[in-house]
Structure formats: C-alpha cells, structure tokens
Amino acid sequence: MRVEMKNLSKHFGRVKAVNDFSVILNDGELVCLLGPSGCGKSTVLNMLSGILPVTGGKIYFDDEDVTDLPPEQRGIGLVFQNYALYPHMTVLGNICFPLEIQGLPKAERIQRATEMAELVHMEGMLHRKPKELSGGQQQRVAIARALVKRPNLLLLDEPLSNLDARLRLEMREEIRRIQLQTKVTTIFVTHDQEEAMSISDHIVLMKDGFLQQHDDPQALYNEPANQFVADFLGNPPINNIKGAIHSGFFVAQNGDKVRLPETDGAPEGVKVHLAIRAESFMMADEGDESCLHCTVENVYQLGKEEMALLNFGDTQVRAYLSFDYGLKAGDEVTLQVRDRGVFLFDLETGRRYA
Amino acid sequence: MKKQNRTRSLLGTVTYVAGIVLALVGSLTWLFKETGSLPFAVGLVAVAIGLFLNHSYKTKVLSLRGIRYFFLSVGALIMVFPFYWMLVSAFKTSAEMNLFPPSMLPKNWRNFNNFVVAFQTAPFARYFLNSVATCLSSVGITTFTTVLAAFAFSRLKFPGRDVLFSLLLSMMMVPFEMLVITNYTTIVKVGLNDTIWALILPFTSSIFYTYILRNFFVSIPEGLYWSARVDGCTNWRYLWKIMVPIARPSLVTIVLLNAMASWNSFMWPLLVIKKDINRTLPFGLYTFTTEVGANNELLMAASLVVVMPMIILFLFARKQIVSGVSRGGIKG
C-alpha cells in the first residue's frame, strides 16, 4: 500500500512535535523513520495508526483519505517497543486475538495463527505464556500478532530497543526477512542509524519535527542534505573542520588549505565546516599544497584496519589509515582528502554547498 | 564461614530438640493448668545442655531459629485461642461450661445440641440466608461498578475526569458514620427501610476499591490498549477480555475484602432493620446474645455458624487476603 503524508503537523499545546511533514512511501517498502529522541518520529507513527489525531495535514493510504479514520478501520498492524503482549494469554491466544475480534471461526483462527507462528519461527512455543519467553521471542510473537490479520501497513515503534545487542542484530534481519516474505509495507521507527541503514529501502530522517532527508540509505550517507544528516549518520562520526572559502580552496583556521573540486554556490569568504568521513583521508603526496597537518594522538587497532585519533589544531579528527604507515602516537602526518565523503556545510545554517 | 565441626553429636541434637518440645508443652500446661512449671524448667535446662553438647555453627543457627519459633508459637497460640475456645465451647454442655478449672476439650464432639437449640431459639437459617443474599448481591454489584469506574478513570479520556476523580477521593475522607445519617434519611424517604434492599443498595459502589483498581489499571501498559484497539477491539471488550483477566489478583483481593466487610457489617443493619426475619447474622447474633443471656455454649455455637463462612473463605484465599491487605495499606 502506498502511504502519503501531506503537510502533516502535530502540536501538543505550544510544543510543535511535527511540522509540515510530507513524505510518500511506496508499496511494499520497508521505510525507517530515523532521528534522535524527541524528533517526532513516534508522533508521526501514532498519527499514521490513528492513535493521535492530526493537528493539520492529510494522510492517504493509496488514494483514500484516512486522516480522520479511527485506528480499527485503517487496516494496520502495530508493534511496540515493550511488545505489549497480553500477559494472561498464551502465544497462540495472543496471535489469535485480532482474528477473534474479527469473529473468524475458531478453526480458521488457529490455522492462520499457526501459519504466522511458523513465519516468525515460534511454532514450537504456541502454548507458552509471554513471561516464559525471551525478549526476542516476545517480539516475534508481537510481530506475528500484528501480521495475522494481513494488514496493509505494518508499524513498528522502536521494536528492537529493549533487546540486547546480539539479539537486536538477529531480530532486525528477521524483521527484514519477514517483511520481504510478506511484502507488507512497513514503517520502522528507530533512533539507531546502523539499524536503519542496514535493513531499510528508504530512510526518512527527522529532527525537531522537521523532515531532514528522505532517500535510500546509501544516498543518505553519500549525499547528506545538510550538516545534521552528515553528523547523524556514520560511525565514527564525521569530522568537522572549521574554516572559510577562498578562491576555490577551503582554508582552515591555521592556514592549511584543501582544494575543492566544486564549490557550488559557496560564496567567497563564507565560513564553513569541511565535513570529512573517517574513510576519506589519505596520506598527502609530497609537495601538495592541499593538505592538513595533524599530530597523531593515538592509534586504535580494529583488526582489519586501524583508526587514528589525530589532532588538527584543537579539533580532533578520526581517520581510517592503512597499517603500512606504521603510525604511532606523537607522529606528525600530512593528510589529504579524497573526492568522496567530503562535504561543505555553511557554518551557521548547516546548508550544504558541496 | 566455618564449616560445621567436630563437636556435633546425636545426643546433643536430641537433647536440644526434646528440650524445646518439653519447654513448649510445659509452658502451655503451666499457663492453663498451673502444673507444668517443672517440665518447662526441665525443658529449658535440656535446651541448654543440648546447646552445650554440640556448639557448632549449625546448632547456633538452629537454636536461634528455635527461640524465634518458640516466641512465634506462643504468639500464634494466643491469637488462635479465642477461636479454639469458641469451637470447643460450642460442643460443650452447659454443665461442662461451668466447670472449674475449665476443661480444654468437650466430653462429646458429637454434641450438636447447642446448634439445634440456637437454631430453634432464633431464625438463624433465615439470618444466614439474608447475610448470604446481601453479601453476594452487594459484592457482585460493587465489583461490577468498580470495574467500570476504574476503567473510566484510567483509560477513557473525558473532560473533567481528573477533577471528578479527586472529588471522589476527597469523599473518602468523610467517615462512614457521617454517611450513615444521609443514607438513613434517603432509605427512609424511598420507603425501603426494614427491607433487604436497605442492606444492599447503599453498598453497590466503593470509592476505595475503585481507587485501588484504577491504580492497577493505570499500571497496565498503554501499548496493550492500542494494540487491541487497532485490531478493532471495543473498549467494552478490551475491558473484559484483557484488563479484567490481567487485574484478577487485584480483583480477587477487592472481592474478598468487600465480602468480609459486608458479612461483618453490623451498625447499618442495626439502624435500618427492625423485623426479625430481615436481620443478618451479626445483628441476629447480637439480639440472640441478649435473649439467651448467660448461656455461653449456645452463644458460641451461634458464633461458630456466623464466622464459619469467613473462616472457610480465609482458608481458601489467605494468600490473596494477606497480600491485599498489605498492598492496600489499611483495609477500608
């Protein structure tokens, strides 16, 4: 099902949780609503499910306006962070419950619930109570319960946040598998960028109730729309170096220069951040005027590579560098930046120039 | 911690345990028969010898436990004694009742004469029926209204909800004795005084139980509600299919406390009931007391009938009652 949100907004008194939010999600996609805590992503989800009435704007499922439809008429499945299983019912009872409300005959209920349990690999535990299950298993049951009535849209509100790291990895792959298998349009709310990057078709990145960027994960990483997007994605975080634009060069505060391939509309003399991904550094060629002089503070061995913690003036910089250089603390190095993974943002507005 | 060691002997342990038993029995007979000071003293000495014979870590723990159990047993016996006395007296003849020193057991356990006489003197069967009827209906209706009100105050959103709830809570400050006056005039005006209805109608809702249950309902995660709503579950259905089963421990507690209060209520029936056939058990027992006067064995037989249902209830649900009373702080 295609989901369209048009100029959606939600205000709680004077707090504007969501502002003028417009996004179109395609049928069968898994889309992550990503953003830091309090950015309004759960509010968007709750408006989609009908739990929260909207302050302004419209929601369309396919071409139907569902803005004022009550939750039960929207044909959605919901999964919460705390699973929200009915503690007094067995796994089977929980998965059956939505069908029971629809008034389906018992035999059909059990048959469909069993199929669902198989899909989420819980068929061996149908008669357990929720408290006899691990967190991951409970979440599997919650997903089965949300899917058993064949919803057009599956909404997951931080479904992995209560799980420990290993389970989280496993469950996010499971969610992706189940989603691909059922082809249900899915919206997944998370504050974990890695989670969002790894499983979604598209990511909707939000901040303070505003849409920042809506794109596929790789594009979000490779072409961030603004300073916030660049800062939010990536681990280690992107390196920001303060400076200004002078005749086709970025000039840092200590006078080091970096040649810019394109400066698209960055006016001469404007103060900027040069944002460089950790993997976009390399050793400078000798005599190159475009270079950054750094001191090595520490070197971390990461197995397949090493990460250097460098000081550039009073800015700390993290860079992945080859073992071959044999860097150690205290070394002076001259670095150059690659073409990819380097961006220019306005220091004040965060707007991207290049 | 040191392992239990060498100085432990069978003789010591036996002496110690026997000493405790002897001391306990001795102290009891001493209390009631005025003979037994000797076994008590011997018992204490035996405990001391036993402790001396095997003074290991384990016996230290055991002896501490022994002392603790000794005091607990004495306390428990003191608490249970009135019930015990009621039980044995109900089976005694009036001659046995007047024995001195009193006998601890009736001569004949199959002496049901007291019950027969009591039931002939006053319509206890009728009292019993009245009690059961008022108890069942008032507890039933109260539970129903409590569940509905607790749901409204915990999940439904309507203007003035919290103000209304605070108002209700402040009503709890008004003592029951104050309400009795207005309730009485109301009942009289409606013309229901001296009927069973007068015993039921004023007790068909409870702010205190609503408050307890609302707090429990509030603690049920909202996710459950919305999961169910999204699936098309109505409020009504959600309440009875999800919330009530989850809140069952709380509900059972409420029902039990309510049943006890209703069964034991005395002041209100005393005010509104005049006719003999409308009396409930506690009230009936009260009038019976004045009628039979000094015939304590009849009184005890009647009392036994009155408390028996509550004792049975307690035996079946004592865990619930205890946890309920400690959870609710003080019973209402």
pLDDT in tens, B2-14: 444 445 567 777 7
- Of B19, B18, B39, B15, the C-alpha closest to B28 is B39
Contact B227 A88 (CB under 8 A): no
Tell me the Ramachandran region of residue A153: left when phi exceeds 0, alpha when psi lies from -120 to 50, beta otherwise.
Answer: beta
Instruction: Give the pLDDT band (50/70/90) at residue B327.
Output: low
- Taking the C-alpha atoms of residue B186 and residue B188, their distance in angstroms, rounded to an integer, is 5
Torsion angle in degrees (nearest 10) through CA of B64, B66, B70, B75: 70
Q: Convert the pLDDT of each residue in A140-167 to its tens digit.
A: 999 999 999 899 999 999 988 888 888 8
- Taking the C-alpha atoms of residue A321 and residue A333, their distance in angstroms, rounded to an integer, is 11
Element (H, E) at A354: none
- pLDDT value of position B4: 47
Contact A86 B226 (CB under 8 A): no
- pLDDT value of position A215: 92
- Rg, Å, chain A Cα set: 25
- pLDDT value of position B57: 63
Element (H, E) at A297: strand A292-301
- pLDDT value of position B94: 83
Contact A72 B223 (CB under 8 A): no
Looking at chain A, the whole-number percentage of residues with pLDDT higher than 70 is 98
**Chain A: residue nearest B222 by CA?**
A84
Contact A101 B242 (CB under 8 A): no
Q: With beta carbons less than 8 A apart as the criterion, state whether A35 and A191 touch.
A: yes
Distance from the Cα of B248 to chain A's closest Cα (Å) equals 10
| 8-state DSSP, A226 | B
Q: Which residues pair with A309 in a beta bridge?
A: A298, A318
Element (H, E) at A202: strand A202-207
- Rg, Å, chain B Cα set: 27
| Cβ-proximal residues to B173 (8 Å cutoff; 6+ apart), any chain | none
Instruction: Give the pLDDT band (50/70/90) at residue B69.
Output: confident
Over range B190-210, report the average pLDDT.
90
Q: How far is CA B21 from CA B24, B39, B41, B236, in A?
A: 5, 10, 12, 59
- Taking the C-alpha atoms of residue A182 and residue B68, their distance in angstroms, rounded to an integer, is 65
* pLDDT of B39 above 70: yes
State the angle between helix axes of B207-218 and B124-154 in degrees (0 to 180), rounded to the nearest 10: 40
Q: Indicate the range of B215-219, B246-250, B298-302, B320-324 predicted with least confidence.
A: B320-324
Distance from the Cα of A91 to chain B's closest Cα (Å) equals 14
- Taking the C-alpha atoms of residue A112 and residue A347, their distance in angstroms, rounded to an integer, is 56
Contact B245 A98 (CB under 8 A): no
Question: Does any CB of chain B come closer than 8 Å to the CB of residue A71?
Answer: yes
Contact B233 A72 (CB under 8 A): yes
* pLDDT of B331 above 50: no
| Cβ-proximal residues to A55 (8 Å cutoff; 6+ apart), any chain | A9, A10, A11
Of B221, B226, B237, the CB nearest to A78: B226
- Taking the C-alpha atoms of residue B55 and residue A287, their distance in angstroms, rounded to an integer, is 89
Over range B88-104, report the average pLDDT.
84
Amino acid letter for position B60: K
- Taking the C-alpha atoms of residue B25 and residue B46, their distance in angstroms, rounded to an integer, is 13
- Taking the C-alpha atoms of residue B269 and residue B58, their distance in angstroms, rounded to an integer, is 57
Q: Which residues pair with A153 in a beta bridge?
A: A76, A185
C-alpha angle with apex A338: A333 to A340, nearest 5 degrees?
145
CATH numbers and ranges of domains, chain B: 10-84 (no CATH), 115-327 (1.10.3720.10)
B156-163 contact pairs (CB < 8 A, 24+): B156/B235
Helical spans, DSSP H, in B4-109? 10-33, 37-53, 57-90, 94-97
Contact B232 A51 (CB under 8 A): no
Q: Which residues pair with A343 in a beta bridge?
A: A275
Contact B226 A102 (CB under 8 A): no
Q: Which residues of B touch A90 (CB under 8 A)?
A: none
Over range B246-254, report the average pLDDT.
87
- Select the more confidently predicted residue: B240 or B48: B240
Q: What is the value of ipTM here, to two decimals?
A: 0.82
Sign of CA dihedral A39, A45, A51, A52: positive
| Cβ-proximal residues to B61 (8 Å cutoff; 6+ apart), any chain | none
Interface of A with B in 143-182 (CB under 8 A): 145-146, 149
Per-residue tens of pLDDT for chain A, all 354 residues? 899 999 999 999 888 899 999 999 999 999 999 999 888 899 999 999 999 999 999 999 998 999 999 998 898 999 998 889 999 999 999 999 999 999 999 999 999 999 999 988 898 899 999 999 988 899 999 999 999 989 999 999 998 888 888 888 888 898 999 999 999 999 999 998 888 999 999 999 999 999 999 999 999 999 999 999 999 998 889 999 998 888 778 888 888 888 877 656 677 788 889 999 998 888 888 777 788 888 898 888 887 778 889 898 888 999 988 777 778 888 888 888 888 888 889 888 888 887
0.90 surpassed by pTM? no
Q: Which CATH class is domain A3-231?
A: alpha beta
Of A50, A88, A97, the CB nearest to B231: A97
- Taking the C-alpha atoms of residue A233 and residue A3, their distance in angstroms, rounded to an integer, is 25
- pLDDT value of position B132: 92
**DSSP reduced 3-state for A184:** coil
Interface of A with B in 48-67 (CB under 8 A): 49-51
* pLDDT of B34 above 70: no
Contact B232 A102 (CB under 8 A): yes
- Taking the C-alpha atoms of residue B188 and residue B178, their distance in angstroms, rounded to an integer, is 16
- pLDDT value of position B332: 37
Q: With beta carbons less than 8 A apart as the criterion, state whether A52 and A46 touch.
A: yes
Q: Hey, where are the domains in chain A?
A: 3-231, 237-346
**DSSP reduced 3-state for B133:** helix
- Mean pLDDT, chain B, rounded, equals 84
Sign of CA dihedral B143, B148, B152, B154: positive
Of B223, B230, B248, the CB nearest to A76: B230
Q: Which residues pair with A321 in a beta bridge?
A: A306
| Cβ-proximal residues to A29 (8 Å cutoff; 6+ apart), any chain | A185, A186, A201, A202
Question: Does any CB of chain B come closer than 8 Å to the CB of residue A76?
Answer: yes
Question: Does any CB of chain B come closer than 8 Å to the CB of residue A98?
Answer: yes
- pLDDT value of position A267: 78
Q: Convert the pLDDT of each residue in B255-283 to its tens digit.
A: 988 998 899 888 899 889 888 888 898 88
* pLDDT of B16 above 80: no
Looking at chain B, the whole-number percentage of residues with pLDDT higher than 70 is 88
- pLDDT value of position B41: 77
Instruction: Give the pLDDT band (50/70/90) at residue B253.
Output: confident
- pLDDT value of position A253: 85
Q: Which two tokens stand for residue B200?
A: 């039921």
Over range B27-41, report the average pLDDT.
71
Q: With beta carbons less than 8 A apart as the criterion, state whether A245 and A257 touch.
A: no
Sign of CA dihedral A34, A36, A39, A42: positive
- Of B331, B320, B327, the C-alpha closest to B176 is B331
Q: With beta carbons less than 8 A apart as the criterion, state whether A148 and A112 touch.
A: yes
Contact A84 B229 (CB under 8 A): no
Q: Which residue has the tokens 């044995």?
A: B88
Architecture of domain A237-346: Beta Barrel (2.40)
